[in-house]
Amino acid sequence: MLPRAVSARRGGIAVAAVLAAVGLIFAWQASLLDFGGFDLPGPGFFPLVLGVLVFAFAVLIAIEGWRGAAEGETVELGHRDVLIVLAALAGAAALFEPLGAYLSLGLFGAVLLVVLARVAVPLAIAASAAAMAVCWYFFQVLLGLQLPLGPF
């Protein structure tokens, strides 16, 4: 059943419309939070920037889809790797609070390295541990933010 062939023009415009809606939702929700300033950004600053960027890129994707793709050209939707990443993201989101940020994100990275990149398990674990050490240093030391630690 998957992957499914669809018109490149219609598929691109449909994806752009979904991304534009997501960008607008991010911007709308960010507008309900304090923006702060450039010297000390508040909790709404980065989601607003992200929402505006996602919306702007969605508009560019829609323009390119409208102008660039011929009507008969097709693309395939539903690739195995994309579905694996989406499932792993859902798992990481579900485990973020119970396992903690570093363990859930490290597990996410290790799973993707093993399943998609076909990296050996010990190397994937080592790479994920190194990446989580960098994340800890960035968030805890440089930014002074405490991410959820989970049971540890």
Q: Categorize the per-residue pLDDT at 145 as very low, low, confident or very high, splitting at 50, 70 and 90.
A: confident
Spatial CA neighbour of 132 closest among 98, 88, 99: 99
The pLDDT of residue 71: 67
> Which has the higher per-residue pLDDT, 82 or 73?
82
The span from the CA of 132 to the CA of 100, in Å, is 12
The pLDDT of residue 69: 63
Using CB atoms within 10 A of its CB, is residue 26 exposed (0-12), middle (13-18) or buried (19+)?
A: buried
Spatial CA neighbour of 15 closest among 70, 104, 73, 75: 75
| Residue spans per domain, the chain | 4-77, 80-142
